[in-house]
Amino acid sequence: MNPLLLLLLPFWLLILQFVVCNSIYLNYTEALSKSILFFEGQRSGYIPSNQRITWRGNSALGDGPGFFSDLRGGYYNGGDNVKSTYTMAFTTTMLAWSVIEFGEMMPKEELRNTLVAIRWSADYLPEDMDMNRTVYKLQAIDPASEVAGEVAAALAATSIAFRSFDPYYSDSLLKAASGAFDYADLYHGSYSETVLIKYGVCPYYCAFDGYQASIYSHTHTHTHTHTHTYKRMVTHWQDELIWGAAWLSKASKDERYMEYIQKNGDTLAANENINEFGWDKKHAGINVLLSKEVLERKAYGLDSYKTSADNFICTLIPESSSSSHIAYTPGGLIYREGEKNLQHSTSITFLLLVYAKYLKQSSGSINCGSVRVGPAKLRVMAKRQVDYILGKNPKGMSYMVGYGRKYPQRIHHRGSFIPSIKDHPQVIKCKEGSIYFNSSNPNPNILIGAVVGGPQKDDEYEDDRTDISKSEPTTYINAPFVGALAFFAAKPIHHN
Ligand SMILES: *[C@@H]1O[C@H](CO)[C@@H](O)[C@H](O)[C@H]1NC(C)=O
Ligand SMILES: *[C@@H]1O[C@H](CO)[C@@H](O)[C@H](O)[C@H]1NC(C)=O
Ligand SMILES: *[C@@H]1O[C@H](CO)[C@@H](O)[C@H](O)[C@H]1NC(C)=O
């Protein structure tokens, strides 16, 4: 053999590894089905007989009565038995937005499953409108603009998603959305700032380290193993008012919502150049959503939203002359400091595809200094994120449970790591669950379709149940992924 060829051996091996790593076949249709199936594993309340994730039984049936309302149902937002109205509403908005933009591309059966998943939480939301299941009903004196604003957005978006399938349901959702919005706007403020103080729940749920805890509704079922204090940044409630108004404007075509945006957008700083989109920050989502109106010249005075949406896209393009850039891991995953990184990847991926669609419909493009960006580039960027999550990454690992050859086995999820009541009829008392929590065995119940918090900034993932940030799945990670997968299942664009 030519010694030069031998010398180059490591190089050839590298190329080979690259080719192999990049040639795994990804079945987007399968991933789409699973991403929707996941929501059945998160169901709270009475489980219907057609439930497909069978290890999940009835739970939290005691919610509500002391409060003169029925608060059974809805979704647990993650791996602990907690239902948070705020994140559930955002999840619902994202599932509905997925159907609005990409529902027509879904196989009929999956469209039906997605509508069922949306209805499961939308039905809960018009009923709910409360913070603490036992005490804090939204009362006129308790501002909760961010929660009520997000509920308004969720119900309005759901009303659009259902319009052609169930007009009667769609109308009733719109009415409820409008009520939620009026409430949100009448008493400005955040529930995490006011309710906590008012009801004296400090210090248990209150500020430390410059963070403020948020109130979550708790369910203590027999699987309860430990108590958490949920911390997050002090909530900004302003963006949800514009977000809610934007969805109501789309759903109702009532001029007053567009006027509200035109009049209040600047004061509420919703059009700000904040390059984030998640359950607590709607800015990039608002900017993309309202850019459609600008691109179609349907409303005046919204140009700043389009400018901010463009700026947001430019931060994702490393070679752009943008003043700041969003980071990527060496393996190519969008990375932000903080909890559960894949929430950023899935929600930004969704926005990339939505913006690509809007730009395409209006033959638009984005100017990022020296780089001009069109829909095709946005889709390639989105595909890279989707492919990473499904297994094209340095670890060759799928971050969707039950998908691919290698996926997380020890997710932080009580329903998944504690034996099902169907296999273990005796009650598992409080604390007894820690045997399972501490065990190094794989979880007995596979939560098919769950996308976990994901790897850290060096693409590493340890598959450790105690590492909540990485190993816990949440409904708000999966919801935008449903829309992205619907797109690629229908249009598996090729690049490389
Ligand atoms: C992809 O998955 C779908 C749904 O699970 C299945 O029906 C189809 O046969 C799969 N396609 C290939 C090429 O394996
Ligand atoms: C709900 O309210 C009750 C009564 O004030 C309080 O004891 C409990 O800690 C609250 N729960 C949460 C999760 O805030
Ligand atoms: C589980 O691990 C924790 C922390 O290491 C320990 O305190 C606890 O005793 C363990 N529980 C069981 C049942 O092994």
pLDDT digits (tens, 9 = 90+) for 47-64: 999 999 999 988 888 765
Determine contact, residues 30/441, Cβ cutoff 8 Å. no
**CA nearest ligand 3 atom 1, residue:** 438
131 ligand 2 Cβ < 6 A = no
Whether 220 is catalytic = no
| Domain ranges (residues) in the chain | 41-220+227-397+473-490
Catalytic residue among 220, 412, 413, 495: 412
The pTM assigned to this predicted structure is 0.85
Quote the longest CA-to-CA distance of the chain. 84
CA-CA distance, 379 to 494, in Å (whole number)? 10
Beta bridge partners of 372: 367
Q: Please give the residue that has the higher pLDDT: either 134 or 411.
A: 411
Q: How far is CA 70 from CA 64, 121, 126, 391, 485, in A?
A: 5, 14, 11, 42, 34
344 ligand 2 Cβ < 6 A = no
Q: Which ligand is nearest to the CA of 82?
A: 2
pLDDT digits (tens, 9 = 90+) for 270-311: 666 778 899 888 999 999 999 999 999 888 899 999 999 999
Quick one: tokens of 395? Answer: 């670890």
Q: Tell me, what DSSP letter sits at residue 208?
A: B
CATH 2.60.40.1930 is held by the domain 41-220+227-397+473-490 = no
Mean model confidence pLDDT for the chain: 84
**CA nearest ligand 1 atom 4, residue:** 30
pLDDT digits (tens, 9 = 90+) for 175-210: 999 988 988 888 777 665 554 444 443 333 333 322
Mean pLDDT lowest for which of 6-10, 11-15, 65-69, 484-488? Answer: 65-69
Mean pLDDT lowest for which of 88-97, 139-148, 355-364? Answer: 139-148
* Position 83 pLDDT exceeds 50: yes
CA-CA distance, 480 to 93, in Å (whole number)? 9
- pLDDT classification of 31: cutoffs 50, 70, 90: very high
**Hey, what amino acid is at 406?**
K
CA-CA distance, 79 to 471, in Å (whole number)? 9
For the packed helices 108-128 and 145-162, what is the interaxial angle rounded to 10 degrees? 140
**Mutate-to-test residue for ligand 3 from 225, 417, 434, 466, highest number of ligand atoms within 8 A of CB:** 434
**CA nearest ligand 3 atom 4, residue:** 438
**Mutate-to-test residue for ligand 2 from 77, 81, 134, highest number of ligand atoms within 8 A of CB:** 134
